[in-house]
Amino acid sequence: MQPNFEWLDAVINEMSEQRNSRQMDSDQQTAPQNLEAEVLRKIGRNLLIFQQIEYMLKRILGNSRMHGYVHELAINKENRVNGIQKDMLGLLIQRYIDEILSDANEEQQGPQELSGPWLFFSFKFTGDDKFYELQCRNFELVREERNQLVHQFLPYWRTDSPEQLSIVCEYLDEQRQKILPTWEHLKSVVETMHQAFQEHASHFASEEFNQCLNLMLLQGSPLIQLFCDISTRISRADGWTCLARAGQLVHEEAPNEVAKMKAKYGYDSFKKLLVASKCFEIFDEPLPNGRFRTFYRLRDINLHQSHNESGKTRRIQLITEINSSNNSINDSNTTG
């Protein structure tokens, strides 16, 4: 008698059907779960791009402008960076358009009456009208798309609808394509700004710049300014002032500055100080006894104009302009 295995076949068939049924249920659950995970991944990806755009805007704006007296530059820079860190994306975009994409031909800033060397630095990324309009449109897209993702996305989050999840996936991919041009533009600006700053650092560390800055500090010093003032008060009709008489007045009016002259400026006589400042002409008038008497008068230079019209010392203005067509760096360095 042959064994009857029909009952075993029936059990195996039933188990197989149950397994297939469970597999179908699992497949139906896995598809939405995979889509849900993909949507979450793309949300995170896009949010990261928005954060990177915001970070680059803050970095560019924080380093794009600096002004003030030499002793104020560090604190002015710190205050500017701290203020920008609190700005929202919309305000950052507007500041970028107004400050970075604006015309590089801007007026010097600063007080009318200066009490020391005053420096102004700005960074620009410029192009033609089409470039400007394109960047404005792209930044407006960034602002709108970020608001939609952060503030208006929730109604589209339907995990029970694979079709809706697929639509959202496509939407997030399209959003990424819309905002990538701005991300790439800002990345290029950051890289070019870094290159420009390296070149500036090399220039600022040079002996030529050091000599120029020291000359400005000397020309703006209280002693030099006092000699300028005295010259306008006691000079002869031809503009020449007796250095000995002026020196007496300087001793009377600024004794502390005179006492520190050698340590502060490295000169042990008024004549050497005036010659080093390059602000004055020096003339030695012979005397009958074979000696001479020294006179000085102001040169016709910006310091004289600044002293009489708009301040007491000189200004340095440095505008770094990046051309969008070829990323070339153009520096406009002026003093006055």
State residue 325's pLDDT score: 61
The answer for 103, left when phi > 0, alpha when psi is -120 to 50, beta otherwise, is: beta
Burial class (CB in 10 A: 0-12, 13-18, 19+), 32: middle
State residue 7's pLDDT score: 44
| Residues 247/255, Cβ–Cβ less than 8 Å | no
Cα–Cα distance, 321 to 331 (Å, whole number): 6
Please list the rounded mean pLDDT of every run of 10 residues in the chain (336 residues): 47 53 46 82 96 96 87 89 94 94 66 72 86 95 96 88 92 96 95 84 78 82 92 92 96 94 92 94 92 90 41 56 59 50
Per-residue tokens: 159: 């995990």
| Residues 292/286, Cβ–Cβ less than 8 Å | yes
State residue 2's pLDDT score: 46
Global model pTM greater than 0.75: no
Tens of pLDDT, residue by residue over 309-323, are: 333 445 656 666 666
State residue 110's pLDDT score: 67
Cα–Cα distance, 60 to 189 (Å, whole number): 8
State residue 139's pLDDT score: 97
Nearest to 98 by CA among 136, 58, 54, 50: 136
Helices (H), ranges, the chain:
6-63, 73-85, 89-95, 129-151, 162-204, 207-219, 222-234, 243-253, 255-259, 261-265, 270-277, 302-305
State residue 61's pLDDT score: 95
State residue 3's pLDDT score: 47
> Sign (positive/negative) of CA torsion 268, 273, 274, 276?
positive
State residue 249's pLDDT score: 96
- Amino acid, single-letter form, for residue 170: E
Q: How many CB atoms lie within 10 A of CB 265?
A: 19
Query: Looking at the chain, which runs of residues are DSSP E strands?
Result: 65-69, 118-126, 241-242, 280-286, 292-298, 315-323, 329-335
Q: How many CB atoms lie within 10 A of CB 23?
A: 10
| Residues 293/96, Cβ–Cβ less than 8 Å | no
| Residues 35/73, Cβ–Cβ less than 8 Å | no
Cα–Cα distance, 169 to 175 (Å, whole number): 10
Cα–Cα distance, 131 to 325 (Å, whole number): 9
- Cβ contacts of residue 263 below 8 Å, gap of 6+? none
**H-helix or E-strand containing 169?**
helix 162-204
State residue 290's pLDDT score: 87
State residue 304's pLDDT score: 39
335: helix, coil or strand? strand
In the block, which residue shows the tokens 């339907």?
158
